[in-house]
Amino acid sequence: MIPSVKLHHVSFSSKSLSASKAFFGGVLGLAEIERPAFRFPGAWYALGDRQLHIIENASEAEARAASRLSRSDHMALEVEDLAAVRGALDEHHVTYQVGENRDLGIEQIFCHDPDGHAIEFVRYR
């Protein structure tokens, strides 16, 4: 067994750093945090005590881009208010789907970032 301490970050490739920053910082309102002076473009965001790393890499992002919302390949953000999420996504004209698990005590909204990564917003009742 590998003695892991905790999940540190999730990393997504992006074909357009400016579009990703507009989505994660503008639409979702994540706080951008300091990033080392790597030799490649990117941005880091705080996710509670974890991080989201965006790395600009157009060829990788284009090769992987998908138009589906996946049950397995996604990032999930636990939120307190799904109405606020819907409002922000509507305001920025981001298409989303509502999950079908309310009967299990789980409320969900799914959308894509500009590069096709699936993002889940979840609230446990």
Of 86, 81, 84, 113, the closest CA to residue 97 belongs to: 86
Q: Binning pLDDT at 50, 70 and 90, where does residue 74 land?
A: confident
Residue 53 in this model has a pLDDT that exceeds 90: yes
75 CB neighbour count, 10 Å cutoff: 13
Handedness of CA 37, 38, 43, 49 (dihedral sign): negative
Token pair for 102: 């309310």
- Would you place residue 103 in the very low, low, confident or very high pLDDT band (cuts 50, 70, 90)? confident
Phi-psi map region of 116: left, alpha, beta (phi>0 left; psi -120 to 50 alpha): left
**How many domains would you assign to the chain?**
1
Q: What local confidence, expressed as pLDDT, does residue 5 receive?
A: 73
For the domain that residue 86 is a member of, what is the CATH number? 3.10.180.10
96 close to 111: Cβ distance less than 8 angstroms: yes
- pTM equals 0.79
Q: Say if 2 falls within a structural domain.
A: no
**Is 66 inside a domain boundary?**
yes
Name the band, by pLDDT with cuts 50, 70 and 90, for residue 98. Answer: very high
Asked whether residue 109 is domain-assigned, the answer is yes
Residue 10 identity: V
Contact between 13 and 64 (Cβ < 8 Å): yes
